[in-house]
């Protein structure tokens, strides 16, 4: 396997593990253990860890290494608020209809469907910075979205309502995020249990 292949494979695997919340908040990520787990050398793993710091999926502290962020209530609320603001900008500036979801898209988890819906909304916006920022916020929120099914029941129809491009769409986006912002303490408690 080439060094580039090793790095891309390591990046995809580690990013997916972080998105799924496999590591507890505050968990230390040691390059040598990750390299062993992923079956690659430490060099691509170290490069991946630095890349993920840049994406804010992990944090690095001098002398303490890499670790999973431990979001506070206000930080998680801010992240939901940021995601909402970005989506509202994407909707306001969209120059085309977002692609509709296929039957295969609906087979994933609610967290995967949410990421896909928001990605489709972002792709309709002409600004690449907005698209990249929505993708980044989605990655950082994914582990919490995986917990929403148990905390925010029922969620039926929320994503459908958000996808309908009409005058009510901004209110649907805002309502969706406000509901989650109110549930932040419960989401954090549930995440800390796992």
**Among 29, 102, 17, 84, which residue's Cα sits nearest to residue 59?**
29
The Cα–Cα gap between 105 and 103 comes to: 5
- Residue 153, pLDDT score: 78
29, 46, 67 - which closes a domain: 67
- For residue 122, give its domain range: 73-193
Q: Note whether 60 and 94 are same-domain residues.
A: no
Whether 118 and 184 map to the same domain: the answer is yes
CATH number of the domain bearing residue 34: 1.10.10.10
Q: Which two tokens stand for residue 148?
A: 């929403």
**CB-CB contact of 73 with 189 (8 Å):** no
Q: 92 with 154, same domain?
A: yes
pTM of the model: 0.89
Q: Are residues 79 and 53 in the same domain?
A: no
Handedness of CA 137, 140, 144, 149 (dihedral sign): positive
pLDDT tens string 12-54: 999 999 999 899 999 999 999 999 999 999 999 999 999 999 9
> Which one has a higher pLDDT value, 103 or 128?
128
**Residues 60-75, mean pLDDT to the nearest whole number:** 92
| 106 and 175 both lie in a single domain | yes
Task: Pick the last residue of a domain from 67, 94, 110.
Answer: 67
Residue the block writes with tokens 């972002």: 122
pLDDT at 103: 67
Residues 34 and 128 in one domain: no
Identify whether residues 38 and 112 lie together within a single domain: no
At 90, the pLDDT band (50, 70, 90 cuts) reads very high
Which H, E and C letters describe the chain, residue by residue?
CCHHHHHHHHHHHHHHHHHCCCCCCCCEECHHHHHHHHCCCHHHHHHHHHHHHHCCCCEEECCCEEECCCCCHHHHHHHHHHHHHHHHHHHHHCCCCCCCCCCHHHHCCHHHHHHHHHHHHHHCCCCHHHHHHHHHHHHHHHHHHHHHHHHCCCCCCHHHHHHCCCCCHHHHHHHHHHHHHHCHHHHHHHHHHC
Predicted confidence at residue 101, as pLDDT, reads: 66
Same domain, yes or no: 34 and 115: no
Interval 55-80 mean pLDDT: 94
pLDDT, residue 194, reads 65
How many domains is the chain partitioned into structurally? Answer: 2
Q: How do residues 132-180 score in pLDDT, each as one tens digit? A: 999 999 999 999 999 998 898 777 788 888 888 777 899 999 999 999 9
Q: Which residue among 37, 67, 97 closes a domain?
A: 67
Domain shared by 144 and 126, yes or no: yes
127 pLDDT higher than 70: yes
What's the CA gap between 76 and 61, in Å, rounded?
Answer: 20
Domain of 89, CATH number, reads 1.20.120
Assess whether 160 and 97 both reside in one domain: yes
Residues 148 and 80 both lie in one domain: yes
- From the list 29, 101, 85, 81, the residue with the least C-alpha distance to 58 is 29
Q: Do the Cβ atoms of 68 and 25 come closer than 8 Å? A: yes
């Amino acid at each position: 396997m080439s060094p580039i292949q090793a790095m891309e494979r390591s990046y995809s695997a580690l990013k997916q593990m972080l998105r799924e919340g496999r590591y507890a908040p505050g968990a230390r990520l040691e390059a040598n253990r990750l390299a062993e787990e992923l079956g690659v050398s430490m060099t691509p793993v170290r490069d991946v860890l630095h890349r993920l710091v840049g994406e804010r999926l992990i944090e690095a502290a001098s002398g303490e290494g890499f670790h999973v962020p431990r979001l506070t209530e206000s930080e998680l609320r801010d992240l939901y608020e940021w995601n909402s603001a970005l989506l509202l900008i994407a909707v306001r500036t969209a120059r085309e209809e977002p692609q509709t979801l296929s039957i295969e898209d609906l087979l994933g988890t609610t967290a995967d469907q949410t990421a896909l819906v928001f990605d489709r909304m972002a792709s309709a916006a002409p600004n690449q910075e907005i698209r990249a920022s929505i993708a980044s916020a989605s990655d950082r929120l994914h582990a919490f979205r995986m917990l929403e099914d148990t905390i925010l029941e029922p969620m039926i129809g929320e994503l459908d309502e958000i996808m309908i491009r009409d005058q009510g769409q901004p209110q649907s986006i805002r309502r969706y995020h406000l509901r989650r912002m109110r549930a932040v303490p419960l989401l954090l408690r549930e995440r800390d249990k796992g």
